[in-house]
Amino acid sequence: MREIRWSIFALASIFAFGITSTEAAYSVADAGVTDGGTVTGRVIFDGTPPEPTLLVVDEDVEACGGDRPSDQLLVSQDGGIKNVVLTIEDIQSGKSWNFPEQFVYDQKKCTFDPHILLIQPGQAGLVKNSDSVGHNFHTISKGIFNTNKKINADGEMPIRANRIRRPGIIRAKCDIHSWMAGWWYVASSPYTVLTDEDGNFTISDIPAGTYNVKIWHETLGEAEQSVTVEANGTAEIAVSLQ
């Protein structure tokens, strides 16, 4: 396994407004992917991770619950980082999208669920409010999908198909409950995944070739690495972030 080590500064103020890319639009190959390869590995924190920031709940405490640790940087006991996004870039045609037909983004106990949501461009969705209090759902991006609407208690807001126009990053917040924060990562292709609770990831059915892997985390920033995928082969990488 090849180990990759990066020291990355937090660039959230830049990433909140999207991704700039000249990559051509992705298309699904008519014949699918034959003899595809796999990229697999793990993303870990290099060193001792900081203690999670304590989020102060100062509004609608009865419905929202008490103070809570932030979900911005989730590191397992053995160092695996959850919610890191990895994308194999430069694939113009390949496997079918395996994203759900409609995404669902919920607000529970005044927390966004999931904290990081992967979305296909043009995908329809539903923003729910499972709380007994209203939320003001507010997204910020550079022309990808911007909204600022009140969602009543136990209400919902549908997102029509093709409203989310292109790949990029969208920041979500609630103007009523200031501690609420989340992200929508609109993928450029289905070769985009999130790490699990232990920092593990697998990207499959990749056409043979050499590609750029982009890594993004909301507080640790982003980095890139080249990887070569052989037909029916598996390329393993270990990523260390700090």
pLDDT tens digits for the chain (242 residues)? 545 444 443 434 334 444 444 346 899 999 999 999 999 999 999 999 999 999 999 999 999 999 999 999 999 999 999 999 999 999 999 999 999 999 999 999 999 999 999 999 999 999 999 999 999 999 999 999 999 999 999 999 999 999 998 999 999 999 999 999 999 999 999 999 999 999 999 999 999 999 999 999 999 999 889 999 999 999 999 999 98
2-241 belongs to CATH 1.25.40.10 = no
From the list 71, 4, 9, the residue with the least C-alpha distance to 221 is 9
What pLDDT, on a 0 to 100 scale, did the predictor assign at position 9? 39
Residue-range domain boundaries for the chain: 2-241
Question: How confident is the model at residue 142, as a pLDDT?
Answer: 93
- The pLDDT value recorded for residue 6 is 46
pLDDT at 193: 98
